Amino acid sequence: MSLQAFGQGTTPRLYGKLECTNPGGSMKDRAARGMIEWAEREHNLSPGARIVVCTSGNMGVGMAMVCAVKGYQLICLVDAKINPATERCLRVLGAEVVKVYQRDETGGYHLTRLARLESLLAEYPDAVYLDQYDSPAAVAAHSTSTGPEIMAALDGQVRAVVMVAGTGGSSMGVARFFKAQSPETDIWLVDEAGSLALPGNGGAAPRHLNGMGTSIAPANYAPPEFHEFIDHVVYVNAEESIRAAIGLARSEGILVGGSGGAAVHVMRDLAAPHYGPGDNLVALLPDHGSRYTETQFDPDWLAARGINVPEILNADTDI
């Protein structure tokens, strides 16, 4: 959709690819289905099979949905950063939730999750672990659907796509599609400062945005493909991302999560000045913001982390 009001004053035309309209509420539905269908081919899964996935939430919801339909059991290995609302969705969809609470030496939870994964797989030797950090199936799900949809919606005229970095399935899939079909399209990748997801990162530090950033380097972003497909890398913080998400909500009526906020912030404030009139820029908006009312959009949650979002405090004062 056009983000004309949010982009007021910018020269190129700004668009958002809204992924909250997928049935599980995020773009991860696409990768979840692709990965499970891959596992069916590779592991001959039959109903009752047990799948394990490490997830920050949205992948779990997508997989829980697919597993409910296909009759598989799902264990979601999550960490303390998961949104309460997402965790409840996982349980309602029938997934078993295993949660780790201890931060690892990078300040994130991934290494703690991996240690727990090892003990889980020992407990359930027949379980199939699906690794979204190293998943050609997740990348392919986006190169065959998300990328073509963006291209078709803008009649092939896409000057730049701005996406956030997580496990790499969405960004590397969309980038792969564009570099094959429209090499003149620039690919901008956005990560949260303190994440180790991308080659050349600035070192580990605590992060706050849900879904984006990692405490390990996903194989999906391994060079040399990373450098072939990604043109610009930008690091942002939680404050500017959440403020942009609120700006988008109040200008366009579109409520996205903090990672979508990061993408529209970079598209409007950092990418747009590089482009001219008639250029179409697109931000991939991974999910809806309603799941984050107890975290990224909660004044107390923000204050406890020293994240300054005066828009939310003002809204409270006004009530």
Ligand X SMILES: Cc1ncc(COP(=O)(O)O)c(C=O)c1O
* Interacting residues with ligand X (CB under 6 A): 26, 28, 56, 58-59, 164-171, 210-212, 257, 259, 286-287
Shortest approach of ligand X to residue 38 CB, angstroms?
Answer: 15
Nearer to ligand X, 20 or 158 (CB): 20
Nearer to ligand X, 247 or 274 (CB): 247
Query: Is the preceding peptide bond at 224 cis, omega within 30 degrees of 0?
Result: yes
Q: How far apart are CA 54 and CA 307, in angstroms?
A: 27
Query: Which residue in 269, 253, 250 sits closest to 309, CA to CA?
Result: 250
Shortest approach of ligand X to residue 138 CB, angstroms?
Answer: 7
Q: Is the dihedral of CA 278, 169, 224, 178 positive or negative?
A: negative
Shortest approach of ligand X to residue 45 CB, angstroms?
Answer: 22
What CA–CA distances, in Å, run from 250 to 195, 216, 317? 29, 35, 17
Length of the chain: 319
Shortest approach of ligand X to residue 122 CB, angstroms?
Answer: 26
Nearer to ligand X, 170 or 201 (CB): 170
Shortest approach of ligand X to residue 134 CB, angstroms?
Answer: 12
Q: Which runs of consecutive H residues, i.e. helices, occur in 106-203?
A: 110-123, 136-141, 147-153, 169-181
Nearer to ligand X, 12 or 261 (CB): 261
Nearer to ligand X, 22 or 58 (CB): 58
Who contacts 241 (Cβ-Cβ below 8 Å, separation ≥6)? 192, 209, 258, 259, 261, 262, 265
Q: Do strands 96-100 and 186-192 pair parallel, antiparallel, or not at all (unpaired)?
A: unpaired
Q: What is the DSSP letter of 191?
A: E
Integer-rounded Cα Rg, in Å, for the chain is 19
Nearer to ligand X, 22 or 171 (CB): 171
Shortest approach of ligand X to residue 9 CB, angstroms?
Answer: 27
